[in-house]
Amino acid sequence: MRRASLALALFAFGCGGDDPAAPPSANAPCSEPAQAGSPLGVHCGQLVDAEGRVVFLRGVNARVEGIFDVTFDDGRTALEEIPAFTAGDATAMRDFGFDALRLPINWSGIEPTKDGGFDEAYLDRVEQALDLAHAAGLSVLLDLHQDAYSKEIGEDGAPLWAILPPPTELLEGPLVDLEARRLSKQVLDAFETFFGDSTDGSWLRERFSAMAAHVMQRFAEHPAVIGLEIFNEPQATMAGVTRLNDVAYPALRAAAPEKLYLFEPPVTRNVLDVAPVPEAPLGPMTGYAPHVYTLAFVSTDAQKQAMTKETLRTSHANARVEADAWQAPLVITEWGFDPKAIKANEYVTWQSELAEEYGASTFFWVWKERSQGNWGCFDFDPTTQVFSERAALRTALARVRPVAVAGWPTRVSFARATGVFELEFDGNPRVKAPHRIAVAPLLGAPEAVECDGASVEYQTAAHGEVRAHCGRGSAAPHLLRVVVAPRP
């Protein structure tokens, strides 16, 4: 995590925030107060909890049957089969070392008709998933998802009435041509309208924002929900993304002021590994949510074979610069790789290490998948209809990592081969709560917990979490070290 230069940059910029809160500690890397939220706020470009600790999420995406809307009621074949989400899934996510869920939801499910209002039965299903997640201790980021604009002409997203100009051909499943659909004229035209400067585009963005505000009003008090990501992979220019944020952000601030508003750069960043930086931040309680897919979609076997950790660094380094310019927490809401590809497990390990180095929260793609590339934490056998855990992937995902830091983190590292986790931080005298360190259950119980070279008492909580005081009441630099048994 490269935070020293970030601290100076944030101090120079000032960390925007207009919500009343206690003043920052004397050694905070910005001069502005924290932006109060529930359960998470923002301070100095970091997610923070109610105790003032800096929070890092390690989450996973899950497309859920009955929520990820890819079926039709007019006789057309469904696009694909989507796995169910059960209490067992939520518990298994914790066992994998995840503590958060990014839950894709669709405009077509929420507001299927132009004049018929919102489908509360659909939102009831969303709430059921939220309840399961909360019972397992998972935080949830709601994600207004789309792929190729709409299930009517692509995979998922907008309802039929919100496709302008109207489509020339309605499509159905099985979905075996997603990339062709993404580049089809009717999909490109729909994106051009939605993000463009026409009257139709303005109307669509207003309707979309009203829908998003309704969702957040409904779930503003749900204890699992940390916020909403406004639009998945916008196929637009930065000007188009700005047009949407200009309408949606105020609407969601009014609907749910204590929840986070996450936004993505244009989808081209998935391939280019870089996005434009703004002249000014968007505002309080925002999070910058790029996707990091270096070599995941466009690469040869030779490129994968030659790949090293340094090959993957550029996207993370750029994401940190971009997030700093937005003065917003860096939350990588999708990253992943074909688990059957060359060096897949090395890729997962390296991406995890780089995210920690650059101070990002992350959401892995994907939990379970029985269509398209069959990515995810489980393999699916179409003969037996059974999902089986990908043990090597679970090992690659297993980390000792910070959950909540009682200070200002400057370096995070974990080497699975040695079992050594280190957290360097500057103490925050205002924080009285202990550090929370997650130890993936696969790694076993800690063999040692040390603060500045000396053993310290610690408590363990569910799912391998370690809680320990280190540097309490101090503004000085400190080192918290946790040691587990080495694993290859």
Domain boundaries, the chain: 4-53+403-483, 57-399
- The amino acid at 165: P
Find out whether 449 and 433 touch, Cβ atoms under 8 Å: no
> Which letter does DSSP use for residue 156 in this model?
B
**373-391 pLDDT per residue, tens:** 899 999 999 999 999 999 9
Q: Which residues, at least 6 apart from 416, have a Cβ–Cβ distance to it below 8 Å? A: 349, 395, 398, 399, 443, 486, 487, 488
Question: pLDDT confidence of 25, banded at 50, 70, 90?
Answer: low
Question: pLDDT confidence of 26, banded at 50, 70, 90?
Answer: low
pLDDT of 14 strictly over 60: no
pLDDT over 70, % of the chain = 95
Residues in a beta bridge with 255? none
The predicted structure's pLDDT at residue 27: 84
Q: Sort strands 100-105 and 139-144 into parallel, antiparallel or unpaired.
A: parallel
Predicted TM-score (pTM) of the model is 0.95
pLDDT over 90, % of the chain = 93
Find out whether 148 and 107 touch, Cβ atoms under 8 Å: no
Q: What is the DSSP string of 257-276?
A: TTSEEEE---TTHHHHS--P
The domains spanning 4-53+403-483 and 57-399 adopt the same CATH topology: no
Question: pLDDT confidence of 16, banded at 50, 70, 90?
Answer: very low
Calculate mean pLDDT across residues 313-333. Answer: 99
The predicted structure's pLDDT at residue 17: 37
pLDDT of 181 strictly over 70: yes
The predicted structure's pLDDT at residue 20: 37
Task: Retrieve residue 178's tokens.
Answer: 């997603």
pLDDT of 395 strictly over 90: yes
pLDDT of 5 strictly over 90: no
Calculate mean pLDDT across residues 294-304. Answer: 97
Q: What is the DSSP string of 427-450?
A: E-TT--SPEEEEE-GGG-S-SEEE
Calculate mean pLDDT across residues 1-11. Answer: 37
> What class does CATH assign to 57-399?
alpha beta
Start-to-end CA distance of the chain, whole Å, equals 23
Separation between Cα atoms, residue 36 and residue 49, nearest integer Å: 9
**46-105 pLDDT per residue, tens:** 999 999 999 999 999 999 999 999 999 999 999 999 999 999 999 999 999 999 999 999
Calculate mean pLDDT across residues 342-359. Answer: 99
pLDDT of 401 strictly over 80: yes
pLDDT of 18 strictly over 90: no
Specify the residue for token string 């997650």: 438
Whole-number average pLDDT of the chain: 95
The predicted structure's pLDDT at residue 437: 99
**251-266 pLDDT per residue, tens:** 999 999 999 999 999 9
The predicted structure's pLDDT at residue 373: 86
Question: pLDDT confidence of 243, banded at 50, 70, 90?
Answer: very high
pLDDT of 350 strictly over 60: yes
pLDDT of 10 strictly over 60: no
Distance of CA 254 to the CA centre of its chain: 23
**Superfamily of segment(s) 4-53+403-483:** Golgi alpha-mannosidase II (2.60.40.1180)
The predicted structure's pLDDT at residue 9: 34
